[in-house]
Structure 1
Amino acid sequence: MGSKQKKERQKPAKLLTLDTETRGLTGNVFRVGLFDGTNYYKSNTFDEILDLFEQYKDYECHVYVHNLDFDLAKIASTLFKRDRVRFAKSIFINSNVVTLHSDSMILHDSLRLLPGSLEKLCKDFGLTDNAKKDLSDVIKEQGYAVYKKDGVTFDKKKSLGNYFENVPADDPTLNEYLEFDCRSLYEILTIVMDIANIGLETLVMCPTTASLAMRVYKEQYKEQFDKVATPFYMGEWGKFLEDHVRQSYYGGRTEVFTPHIKKGYHYDVNSLYPYVMKVAKFPVGYPNLLKDGQAEAKWKHWKRRAIGGGVMWCRVDVPEDMYIPVLPKRDPSGKLLFPVGKLEGVWALPELLEAEKHGCTIEAIFQMVYWERMEPIFKEFVEHFEDLKKNSKGAKRTFAKLIQNSLYGKFGMNRTRVSLGDMEDRYDLHQKEIPYKEFKHDCNGITLEFIQYMSESKASYIQPHIASYVTAYARILLFRGLIEQSKTGTVAYCDTDSIAGTSKMPENMIHDKDYGKWALEGVLVEGIFLQPKFYAELYEDGTEVLKAKGIPREKMEELSIENYREWLAIMKKGEQERIEIFEGHESRKKFLTTFKASEDFDTMREMKKSINLLLEQKRAIDYNAETTRPHKRYDYGEKKDTIDYAEYKEWEKKLNDTYDDVDDIKEIVDEIGYIKCMKQGDRYYEEYKHLTKSVKSKYFRRTGTPIDVWANESGWDVNELLEELRLMGVC
C-alpha cells in the first residue's frame, strides 16, 4: 500500500473545479461543468465529464467542489460504478466527506477550506470578471419568479428552486452561470495559494481552513512551530499527561445575565483569539508532573515570580455571592457553566490566579503539569496577518482573517477520529487489534462494501495545553469586560468575544480596529436574550439582529423581534413547558449517513425546533424579575453533590475535545446537554442497547435529557437520531 501511494504522489498534481446543476434538492443532475485552468467543459451528464479524465491520466487530478456533500450525492452512482473508490485514502470528518479518492480523481470539498457561500467568497475575494452570477433579474424576466404571501416581496430561495427545476439545460444564461461558478472557484483557490505562498502540492494536503493555517505556521514560522510541536505526549506516560492537561481545555463563555433590556450597547472584541495569541506567552519544552506538596510549592512560587506556566488540579471555593464567577466548569449534563460553590477540576494557572484576585480561595492542590519556559510562539504569525488584514482589501484581508482565527484549535484537536477503510484493510486492523465494523451499501444502483474504525493521530502539533491557554486568556479578557460593564450598568449577555449591556465601555478600552479592544457593534433600543445563542436586538438605526441556533436561514427570514417579544411573554407566564418555533422543514441527510445506511442519496429528513422551558439553563433565570444568578455546585465539602467526581472527571476529559471539526450531534450535546441513558422498559431501549460503548459514553449520561425531549429540542427526529448513532458505532 505504501509503495503504491508513493508512486501516485510522483504524478504532478493538477487543479480542477467542478459544479453540477440539479432539478431541485432531490432531482437529478441535468448540467455539469468542469474547468482545468485553461479549458472549460460542460455536459448534461457526469458520465460524459468522467470520460474527459482520460486526457489527465498522467496527472494526479484534484477536483474541488464547493459543498461536496450535495454534489457527491448526485454523481456518486456514476463515479462508484465506473471508478474504484479508495476509502482508506479519503478523509471523513464527523460524517462529512472532506476528500474522496478514486482512481481517476481526488474530490475535495472547498467549503471546508473556505467557509461561506461561493457568492460571498467572490465578494470577499474581490472577484469581478469570473464572479458568481446573481440570477434574480433573469428569473424575474423569464417568468420563474416566486413571491411571498404579500405578492410583492421576491422570494429568492423559492424562485431559484423554480428556475432550476424548469430551465432548459441549453439555456445560455444557465450555462454562463455554471461556467462562472467553476471559474470563480478556480480563481479563488489560485489566489489562496498565492497569498499563502504555497504550491498546489501543499494546498491539496490541507483539507480544512485549520489545517491550512497549521501548514502555513509550520512551514513559514518553523522556529516557533518546532518549539511547540514536541513528542512529550507520545507513549503511555505522554497519554496520561495529555489526558490530564486536556481537562483544562474549556470553550467560550456564553451566558444570559439579564433577559430583557431597554437601551444599551453591544460590543465585540476585535480578533479576540488572535489578540491573546499575539500578546501572550505559552508553555513550551518539557512538561513536569508535580504532586501534592511539590505542586503547592510551585503554585506559590509561580504567583510570586510568574516563571513558567502550567495547569493545575485543585479545589476552589467560589463565594456564593459572586454574580459573575470566574472559573468554567463542565456540568455532568454537558453544559459549560460558571458556577459558585466548591469546585474541583483542572484549570490553567492564569485563570486560577484571576479567580484568586476576585475572592476565590484555592483550598487544596493535588497535581500540576508545569513547563519551565514560556515563549511568544504566535507573535510573528499573528502580527503578519494582522498587518495584512488591516492594510489590505478583498482577497488578502479575507484570507488573513480566516487563517489567524483557525490556527489555535488544531493544538486542541482530539486524537481519535472515525475513519473509513477498504475491505482489504481488515487484516492490518485485526493484527493491530483495532476493532472495526463492516458496512454494505446496496442502493442507488451500486453495491459496495467498506469498514469503519477509530483511527488515532500521532500529529506532534496536538498540544492541548496550548489550546487551553489560548481559551483561558480569552475568557479572562471577556471576564474583565463583564466586570467593567457591571460596575456602571447591567450586563445582559455575553458570547465568547461579545458583550451586551446598558453601559458604555471606558474610552481606553474601545477601538474599532485595534486587536484586543472593544468595538461598538451598535446602540440598542431593545435587547431580548432568551437563551444562549437565542436572542434579538433592535438597534437605534432600526436594524434587527436575530440569532437562533439550530434554525435554518430561510426560517430565520420569517422571524422578527416581535416573535422574540411573544416568546419572552410566554416565558414570563411560566404556564408552558415548551415553545414551538417551527416544524415540517425538510433538509437533506448527509451523504455519508445515507451511504452507511444503504439509503437513497436524496433521502430527506424533517426538521423542527422548539424551546424546552424545562431544561436547566447555564444560569438560573427569573424571566419575570428579569434577573439571573449562577448555579451552585459542590464537588466536595458538607454540601457535596451526589455525582461521583471520579466519573465526573472522566466525563470532563471526554467532553473537552473541542476543535475545528465538531460533529453535529456532539455540537448540540455541548450546547443543550447529554441524552439520558435508557433502562429496560423505556420506549427506545431496544435500539439503545445495541449502541456501542463509545457512542454511549460520548452522547449519553444518567443525568441527561430524555431522548424524545432532546430530539425535539435539537430538531432531530428520534428514529433518525438513533439511526445516526447506530451508524457511528464501532464494533
Structure 2
Amino acid sequence: MECIERLRRKRTEYLFKNFIMIKFSFFNYRINMRNFHATLASLPSFIKFNYLSSSLNSNFYSTSSDSPMGHIVSASKSSWYNYFSVKNYDPISPFSLENELRAFISLYKKQFKEEKFFIMAKIKFNNNDIRSISTVQIGSTDSFEILNLIAAFNSIFGHPSFSEAVSEPLENELFSLPNGLPKGNIIFTFKPTNNPKVKTKYEKLMSKDKINKNANLSKKNPLNKFKYNGYTIPKTMDLSQWPNIHYINDRKNAVSLNNIIKSGNDNMTLSFFITITKFFNEIPVLLNNTPIFKIKDEIMDKDDLSSFKRTITENEQDKVYVFENGKMVFFTENVKTTFIKKINRQDLINFENPKIITLDLETRSVPIHPIKEGKDGKKGKVNSMMFPIVMSIYNGKFVKSFLFSQSAWETEMMNAFKSIMLRKYDGYKVYTHNFSYFDGIFIIDILSRLGEVKPFMRNGKILKLTFNFTLPNSKRKYTLQFMDSLLILPDSLEKLSLFFNNKVMKSFFPHSFLDDNSISINYVGKCPDYKYFPKACTKDFTIEKYQEYAGKFKNNWDLKKELIKYCEIDTIALYQVLVNFQRKIYDKFMIDCTKYPTIPSLAFAIFRKNYLVDDMIPNIKSKLHNIIKRSYFGGICELYKPSGVNIKSYDVNSLYPFGMKFFTMASGIPKYVKGAIENIRKFIDDSTDEIPFGFYNVKVKAPLNLDKPFLPTRLNTAAGTRTIFPLGQWEGWYFSEEILNAMKYGYEFEFTEGFLFEKSYMFEENIDLLYNIKKTSPKESPWYYISKLLMNSLYGRFGLNPEGEEIIITTEEEGDKLIETMEYVTITPLLSGNVLISVKLPEEAFGDMNISVPISSAIAAYSRIHMSHFLNKYSNNIYYIDTDGIKVDIDLDKDEVDSKELGKMKYEYVLEEYSSLGPKVYGGLLYDKEGKLTELVKLRGYSSKLPYNKLKEGLVKDHMIELTQKKWKRKLSESTIYLKNNHLLFL
C-alpha cells in the first residue's frame, strides 16, 4: 500500500499546484515519437508461459484462419489471462482489431461471470515480438460500452505515428506496404474484475486537445479588437476609439469604463485608468476595482496611432505586442524557467571499503519447439531459451559461486541472494556487466520474492534497481542497489580489463560447448575443440593460445569446474575495473562515480560540479522541450556513390566536443517571438545578428540544383520515423546557426515563430582538460579511454526526455488498486505472481530533472554545419558520409587534416576497392600494417563477419543479400531470454 500512497501523493501534489486535471491520451499527448518508439519497442511481452514446464498450449502459435475465434490461456500464479487471435492478419487494421475484440468478448462471456475486466491491446509481429499498443483500460460486456471500447482502440490507428509506435528496425517485411500497418496476431491481456472503483478509462483514448479560448487576436473583428486573457482591449492608441472614454485632469488622464463581462449572475466592470504622455500611455487595468494587469502603449509613428508597441505586465511577466496599421506584426514574451544548478556537495569514499560487490551470471541454452512462421516455416524460428546455471558474487575479498539446476534455478537463486542480504552489506552497490538487458531479466522477479524492489527504468532499460529487505527479528530495512557497469563503462569486459591494467584479466570459455545439451554439466574429459570458443574472443585467443591452454589438461577438463572458474574471474576482473575507475574519477573530479547509473549522468555531474556557472543554462521543461526537440537531429549519414577505387577515409577529431568548445550555446531565459524575420530583427532589443540567436519554426525551400542536400527533416515510414535530407519544400524547427549556414548554399526560409536565447561559451574549460588528457595519453592507457568517454557522453545528457514513469513491482492485489486509481498504467505479470506496474506521470511530478535540449540540439547542429563544409567543398569527390567521417577519392587539403587538433580531419586508411549498399553498409579491401591485403566490412545490425565479395554481390541489379544471425529476445514476464534466428535483408 505504501507504493500506492506515494503515487497518489505525487499526483495530488501536482494537481493541487496547477489547479487542473491532467488530461492524457495515449496518442494525443505531445511527445517526441522517437523516444516514444524506443519506450514501446522495449516493453516486455506479457505472455505467461513457463517453457521450463510441459504446460505449453499447442494452440498458442497457431496461424490457421479456419477458426473465427481466438483462445484464452491463463498464466501460472496469476489472475491475468491472454486472448490470442487464431488468425494472422495482413495487415492488422482497425477492422481486424474490432473483429477480434468482438470475438474476445463473446468468448469472455462464456468463460467468466464478471461484467467488467481490465484489458490491454497488443500486437504479436511475425517475428514473435510482442508490443503493447494501449495502456490498461477498464472494459465491460455492456453493449454500449463495448462500442466505446472498440472506438477507443480503433482511434489508435488514426494517429500518423502509429507505424512508428510498433515499428521493427531493419525488418520492413513485418509491415504491409504501402499502408505501413503491421502484420501478425492480436493479443488482449486481460483480467476479470468486480465493480472497479473508477469509470471506464477508454474515454481518455478518444479525448481531444482542448482549444485555447484565450486567443491573442479576436477573429470576429481583427481590425478593432485585441483580446488578452479573454478581455477585449482596443487595438489603437487613439483614445477616441476606446469605449466610454472620459478625460480628466486637463486631459492628462482618462478613464475607460463600462466593459461589462457576465459571469454567471454577476456583472463585472473592466476599467482602464490611462496616464497620457507625449510618447506613451500607461494603463492599469482593474476588474471590479481590483488590479489584474497593466498596459504600456508606446507610439511608433506620430502620424498613425494604430502603429504602436504594447507591453502587458502581469505577475511581473511582460508580453510585448507590436502593431503596424492596426495589424499585429510581432509578439514576444519570456518563458518562465529555472536554471540547472551546480553540485556543491562533497563526496567521500573509503577506498579500503568502496562498498562495491560484483556479480556475474552464466547461462545455458535449452532447445524449445520451433515456432511455425511464414510459408517457408523458417522465419521467426525460435531455437532456444536461456536459464542461469552459475552465479558468482565477489565482495573485494572473496568470491562465492552457486550452481543452479534447470528445474529449480529460481529457488536456488533466491538462496544465493540471501548470502548478500546481510547487515554488513547495507548500502552496497551490486554491479553486473549488462544488468539492463541481460542479468536483470533473470534477477528482477527473484528479488521481488525476497523484499521490495524499486526499478528505475528509462526507454526499457533498467538503469538502477533498489532492493530493500529486512532481516529476521528486525524491522529495519536494509538496501542494496543493483547497477549496470556496462552503462557507465560501455565496452566489453575484455577491453576494460586491458584499459585499466587489471591484475586479473577476463578469460576464455567454450560457450558453444556448454550450450550443447547432449553434453552433461558433469562432463570431464578432453578439452573442447577450438571451434567451441566464441568468435568474439578468438581474435586474441589464437589457435596457438588455444593449444597452450588445452595442453594443460590431460583428458581431465572439468566443465563444471571451468565454468565456475570463468564466472568467478569475470567478477574479480569487473571489480578491479570499477575500483580503479572510481579512484581515478574521484582523484581528478572529487565525484563518486557509483552515484551515477550511466556515463552521460556521470559526465554531467562532473560538469555541474566543476564548470557550471550559476544562472546560465535554462532548465527546459516538457512543453518547450517537446517543441525545441523537433530541431534535434542526428548526423548526416548518406551514400552518394556505391563503388570506387583508391577511396580515402577521413574522420573528424572529436566532432561533438569540437562544437562544444568553439561555438556559443543557448543560455539565459528563453524568449518566445512571433512574426516575420525582419520584424523579429527589428523589434528585439540589442540584436545585431542577421538572425537572432535561437530556434525557429520555418517553412523551408531547398534549391533544386543542390547536388547533396544537408538540411534534415523527419519522414514517417512503415518502419518508423526516419531522418532524411530532401529537396523540395517542408516545414520544421531549426537552430538559427544551421539556418544561416543553409542560406549560404541557397536554402530559403520563411519564419513564423521562435525561441530566442542569450549566447554563452560554457564548455571550453571542460573540453580543454579532457582533450589534453586524451591527446597526451597513450591509447592503451585508462585516461585515454576515460577522457574520450566523458567528452563524447556529455552533450546528449542535456537532451534527456523529461517524461517519466513510476515503476513498481508489487502484489497482484495492490496492482489492481493502482489500475483502478491511476491513469495510463501498463502491467506485466511476473512468474512469481507479482506484477510490474508502469505508471506514466507528468514531468512536474518528478521535480527538477536538470535538462536543456537547446544545448544538445545546438551541438548536433554545429556538427552538421562542420560536416556540410566538406560535403559541399568535395561534392564531386565524396562517396559516403557518416556523422563524423567521409570517404573521398582525393586527398583533403593539408590545412584541414591534423590528427591532433580538435575538429580537424584525421586520415584513417585507403580502400583499394570500395563498395556500399547504403548508410552503414559498406566494405572494401585495404592493406594492413604488415602490407597484407585485408577485408573491411561494416554491416548495420549484423554482428557476424560477411566476406567482402558477398557484399559486392548486392550491387548487382535485383540481387538480394539475405543473412541470418542469432538474436536475443528478452522476456521479463517469463524471466528468460530467447535465442532466435533473425533474418536481415539487404537490397
Q: Normalising to structure 2: TM-score of the pair?
A: 0.53
Partner of 1:595: 972
Deviation of 1:606 (Å): 3.1
Deviation of 1:543 (Å): 3.2
* Structure 2 residue runs without a partner (length 5+): 8-346, 367-384, 405-412, 470-479, 514-524, 551-555
Partner of 1:189: 578
Shift of the 377–306 alpha-carbon distance from structure 1 to 2, 3 Å rule, reads: farther
Deviation of 1:600 (Å): 5.6
Partner of 1:112: 487
Distance 2:538 2:634 in 1: 40
1:645-693 Cα offsets, whole Å, 9 max, x none, are xxxxxxxxxxxxxxxxxxxxxxxxxxxxxxxxxxxxxxxxxxxxxxxxx
Distance 2:563 2:827 in 1: 42
1:568-622 Cα offsets, whole Å, 9 max, x none, are 11xxx2x46xx24223x333322xxx223xx3614333311112x4xxxxxxxxx
Q: Equivalent of 1:413, from 786, 794, 800? A: 800
Q: Equivalent of 2:890, from 503, 508, 523? A: 503
Deviation of 1:79 (Å): 3.6
Deviation of 1:482 (Å): 1.5
Shift of the 587–336 alpha-carbon distance from structure 1 to 2, 3 Å rule, reads: closer
Distance 1:539 1:158 in 2: 22
DSSP 3-state at the match of 2:575: helix
Q: Equivalent of 1:14, from 355, 366, 371? A: 355
Distance 1:299 1:531 in 2: 46
Distance 2:704 2:616 in 1: 42
Partner of 2:741: 354
| 1:209 and 2:599 correspond | yes
Shift of the 399–376 alpha-carbon distance from structure 1 to 2, 3 Å rule, reads: same
Q: State the structure with bigger RCO (CA 8 A, min sep 6), 1 or 2.
A: 1
1:44-97 Cα offsets, whole Å, 9 max, x none, are 35455323224445621211001223334445565444x1242xx312232232
DSSP 3-state at the match of 1:247: helix
Shift of the 212–404 alpha-carbon distance from structure 1 to 2, 3 Å rule, reads: same
Deviation of 1:13 (Å): 7.8
| 1:38 and 2:432 correspond | no
DSSP 3-state at the match of 1:204: helix
Shift of the 544–422 alpha-carbon distance from structure 1 to 2, 3 Å rule, reads: same
Partner of 1:327: 711
Conservation of the 8 A alpha-carbon contact between 2:612 and 2:762: no
DSSP 3-state at the match of 2:937: strand
Shift of the 55–460 alpha-carbon distance from structure 1 to 2, 3 Å rule, reads: closer
Distance 2:439 2:542 in 1: 20
DSSP 3-state at the match of 1:589: strand
1:394-439 Cα offsets, whole Å, 9 max, x none, are 11111111111011111112122455224458768876x5421333
Identify which range, 176-185 or 464-473, moves more after superposition.
176-185
DSSP 3-state at the match of 2:741: helix
Partner of 1:340: 727
- % identity of equivalent residues: 25
In the TM superposition, 1:417-566 aligns within 5 A as 417-423=804-810, 424=814, 434-442=823-831, 446-455=832-841, 456=843, 458-486=847-875, 489-541=876-928, 542-551=933-942, 553=943, 556-557=944-945, 559-566=946-953
Conservation of the 8 A alpha-carbon contact between 1:586 and 1:607: yes
| 1:84 and 2:459 correspond | no
Deviation of 1:295 (Å): 6.4
1:118-160 Cα offsets, whole Å, 9 max, x none, are 0011122232x122124589x9x95201439xxxx97999999
What RMSD in Å do the two structures reach over aligned CA positions?
A: 3.7
Partner of 1:656: none
Distance 1:313 1:4 in 2: 40
User: In structure 1, what residue type is equivalent to 2:392?
Assistant: G
Shift of the 321–85 alpha-carbon distance from structure 1 to 2, 3 Å rule, reads: same
Conservation of the 8 A alpha-carbon contact between 1:255 and 1:494: yes
In the TM superposition, 1:361-380 aligns within 5 A as 361-362=748-749, 364-371=750-757, 373-380=758-765
Conservation of the 8 A alpha-carbon contact between 2:802 and 2:849: no
Deviation of 1:367 (Å): 0.7
Conservation of the 8 A alpha-carbon contact between 1:267 and 1:500: yes
Deviation of 1:240 (Å): 3.9
Partner of 1:396: 783
Distance 1:399 1:142 in 2: 42
Deviation of 1:304 (Å): 5.2
In the TM superposition, 1:614-653 aligns within 5 A as none
Number of aligned positions between the proteins: 564
Shift of the 167–110 alpha-carbon distance from structure 1 to 2, 3 Å rule, reads: farther
Deviation of 1:447 (Å): 1.8
Deviation of 1:267 (Å): 0.5
User: In structure 1, what residue type is equivalent to 2:460?
Assistant: S
Conservation of the 8 A alpha-carbon contact between 1:31 and 1:43: yes
Shift of the 110–532 alpha-carbon distance from structure 1 to 2, 3 Å rule, reads: same
Shift of the 294–586 alpha-carbon distance from structure 1 to 2, 3 Å rule, reads: closer
Conservation of the 8 A alpha-carbon contact between 2:646 and 2:910: yes
1:420-469 Cα offsets, whole Å, 9 max, x none, are 224458768876x5421333223xxx221231222435444321111110
Distance 2:744 2:948 in 1: 40
Conservation of the 8 A alpha-carbon contact between 2:585 and 2:593: no
Distance 1:299 1:471 in 2: 29
Deviation of 1:272 (Å): 0.3
Distance 2:387 2:463 in 1: 22
Q: Normalising to structure 1: TM-score of the pair?
A: 0.70
DSSP 3-state at the match of 2:743: helix
Partner of 1:100: 465
Partner of 1:218: 608
Shift of the 478–285 alpha-carbon distance from structure 1 to 2, 3 Å rule, reads: same
User: In structure 1, what residue type is equivalent to 2:504?
Assistant: N
DSSP 3-state at the match of 2:658: helix
**Which protein has the bigger strand share?**
2
Distance 1:154 1:427 in 2: 53
Partner of 1:66: 433
Conservation of the 8 A alpha-carbon contact between 1:64 and 1:109: yes
| 1:133 and 2:474 correspond | no
Deviation of 1:243 (Å): 2.8
Partner of 1:693: none
User: In structure 2, what residue type is equivalent to 1:495?
Assistant: D
In the TM superposition, 1:166-315 aligns within 5 A as 168=558, 171=561, 174-197=563-586, 202-223=592-613, 226-228=615-617, 230-231=618-619, 233-234=620-621, 239-293=622-676, 296-298=679-681, 305=689, 309-315=693-699
Shift of the 154–481 alpha-carbon distance from structure 1 to 2, 3 Å rule, reads: closer
Shift of the 4–464 alpha-carbon distance from structure 1 to 2, 3 Å rule, reads: closer
* Structure 1 residue runs without a partner (length 5+): 614-731
Distance 2:460 2:849 in 1: 25
Deviation of 1:314 (Å): 1.5
Conservation of the 8 A alpha-carbon contact between 2:700 and 2:729: yes
Identify which range, 248-257 or 317-326, moves more after superposition.
317-326
Shift of the 58–78 alpha-carbon distance from structure 1 to 2, 3 Å rule, reads: closer
Partner of 2:418: 51
Distance 2:557 2:926 in 1: 41
DSSP 3-state at the match of 2:707: coil
Shift of the 85–547 alpha-carbon distance from structure 1 to 2, 3 Å rule, reads: farther
User: In structure 1, what residue type is equivalent to 2:874?
Assistant: Q
DSSP 3-state at the match of 2:355: strand
Partner of 1:582: 963
Conservation of the 8 A alpha-carbon contact between 1:136 and 1:156: no
Conservation of the 8 A alpha-carbon contact between 2:642 and 2:915: yes
